Amino acid sequence: MTQAQVEIQLLAMATAVACSLCGVFLVLRRMTLLSDAISHTVLIGIVVAFFLTGDMASPWLLVGATTAGVFTVLMVESLQKTGVVREDAAIGLVFPALFSIAVLLISIYSKNIHLDMDAVLVGKIALTPLPSRRLEIGGYDFGPKSLALMMAIIIVNLGFIIMFFKELKVSTFDPAFSKAIGFNPYWIHLGLVLSVSTTAVASFDAVGSILVVALMAAPAATAYLLTDKLSIMLVWSCIIGMLSAVLGYWLAHILDASIAGSMSTVAGIIFGFAFFFAPERGLFSVWHRAKTRDRKFKLALLLVHLTQHEGTIREEEECNIESLHLHLRWDEYEAHSVAFEAVETFCATKENKVLRLTPKGRIIALESLQIGTNLS
């Protein structure tokens, strides 16, 4: 790996971590779509700040963009508070309008501006190692500017989360309780909005607006499927974010395609995996658990059936493996396979196609009946 590649990957990972940290709270508070809105409206902040300063490299652009992000959220909330518009519709009203103003401003004054629309969406991560984008202090090269910025954002986000962990937790999971014990959840909400805006703006310079949404939503949602504990969810979210960043980078490298695009693709694939195969909550795991339970229940039912007919005249008929499915009203194939399992696990023996209980099987059957009577 060349130094440039290392630097790009480091930046991608740093961005992923910064976004995943905010993302966890967005996902838990059902505010993920605000990141979508913010990532669109930072454009107007940039445009306005550019008109005011006339300098594309000015740090005021970041301030303008962050302000625009916070402003967006406040607008959405005040629209909601009027009671005439629901949250989803409020988001859908505010960001296209602000975005349209930005597009119009750009198109009217585009002759004098160098505002690259594509760069806004796709980001300029591939340009990270360029000499003009490096941070040099006193002749020492401290690496790319955006990496330094991203590290600062991570530190701020982490500091916010660690300092206000208890408050974040209580206001996220039980806002009413939080209010009852005298802590207004709105302050935490504002802090979170500010941190999401700052993160979105900083990452958006590196990876573009769409990837910001992907990195805020996908790793956190994946982590949400993996654990029930907030602290562990934060860790998982960061790990998954970094994994998406590195794998995405190499996918882009192989295909010679957009880095931002392939990072979000990988993040999506990882989410898909978790959706199906997460140990507790994956679709496949849930299905498998249901299947196992079903199987266990059927086995117990078979054993109970055997105890009922043990030593009766009809035992030969009722417990015959060939006609078992008729008495239990099961699928023939299923009856056979459950009977086979009973023999396999030493719960029953097979004599001349007739199933007979072993002591172990009898105990299981009686226990099951016991549970049944207790329940009723």
Partner 1 sequence: MFESLSVPGLGSVIAGTAMLGFLCGTLGTFAVLRKQSLMGDAISHACLPGLIVAFLLFNSKESWALMLGAAISGTLAAMIILGISRYSRVKEDSSLAITLSVFFGFGLMLLTWVQRRPDAAQAGLARFLFGQAATLLDRDVWLLAAIAIPCLITVFIFWKQFQLVCFDRSFAQSLGFPVFFIDVLLSLLLVMVIVAGLETVGVVLMSALLVAPAVAARQWTNKLEIMALLAGIFGAFSGIAGSFLSNIGKTSIPTGPVIVLLITLIVLLSILFAPARGIVWLQFKHWRDSNVLQLDSVLSNLVNLAKEHSGKQNGHSMAMLKGISSNPSGVPRSVHKLLEMGLVFEVDKGLYIPTTKGEEYLHEKTSHMGRP
**Smaller CB separation from partner 1, 185 or 219:** 219
Closest approach, Cβ 210 to partner 1, in A, equals: 5
**Residue 170 buriedness (CB in 10 A; 0-12 / 13-18 / 19+):** middle
Those residues with Cβ within 8 angstroms of residue 173's Cβ, 6 or more apart along the chain or in another chain: 28
**Smaller CB separation from partner 1, 84 or 162:** 84
Strands (E), the chain: 134-137, 140-144, 348-351, 354-357
Sites of contact with partner 1 (CB under 8 A): 27, 30-33, 35-36, 40, 79, 82, 84-86, 88-89, 91-93, 95-97, 99-101, 103-104, 107-108, 116-119, 121-122, 124, 126-127, 210-211, 213-214, 216-218, 220-221, 224-225, 251-252, 255-265, 267-268, 271, 275, 281, 283
**Smaller CB separation from partner 1, 32 or 157:** 32
Closest approach, Cβ 117 to partner 1, in A, equals: 6
Closest approach, Cβ 18 to partner 1, in A, equals: 16
Nearest CA-CA partner of 325 in 334, 312, 314: 334
Q: Rounded to whole angstroms, how far apart are CA atoms 335 and 331?
A: 6
Closest approach, Cβ 93 to partner 1, in A, equals: 6
**Smaller CB separation from partner 1, 108 or 180:** 108
SS3 170: helix
Nearest CA-CA partner of 120 in 192, 204, 21: 204
Closest approach, Cβ 338 to partner 1, in A, equals: 28
36: left (phi over 0), alpha (psi -120 to 50) or beta: alpha
**Smaller CB separation from partner 1, 84 or 137:** 84
Closest approach, Cβ 286 to partner 1, in A, equals: 8
Q: 134 and 144 in contact (C-beta within 8 Å)?
A: yes
Q: Rounded to whole angstroms, how far apart are CA atoms 86 and 77?
A: 10
**Smaller CB separation from partner 1, 67 or 209:** 209
| Backbone dihedral angles phi then psi of residue 355, each to the nearest 5 degrees | -85, 135
User: Cα angle vertex 128, ends 22, 4, to 5°?
Assistant: 115
**Smaller CB separation from partner 1, 154 or 252:** 252
What is the pairing mode between strands 140-144 and 134-137? Answer: antiparallel
**Residue 262 buriedness (CB in 10 A; 0-12 / 13-18 / 19+):** buried
Whole-angstrom Cα Rg for the chain? 30
Q: Rounded to whole angstroms, how far apart are CA atoms 314 and 320?
A: 10
Nearest CA-CA partner of 47 in 59, 34, 56: 56
**Smaller CB separation from partner 1, 269 or 343:** 269
Closest approach, Cβ 68 to partner 1, in A, equals: 15
Closest approach, Cβ 37 to partner 1, in A, equals: 9
**Smaller CB separation from partner 1, 38 or 147:** 38
Closest approach, Cβ 190 to partner 1, in A, equals: 19
Nearest CA-CA partner of 15 in 311, 359, 263, 374: 263
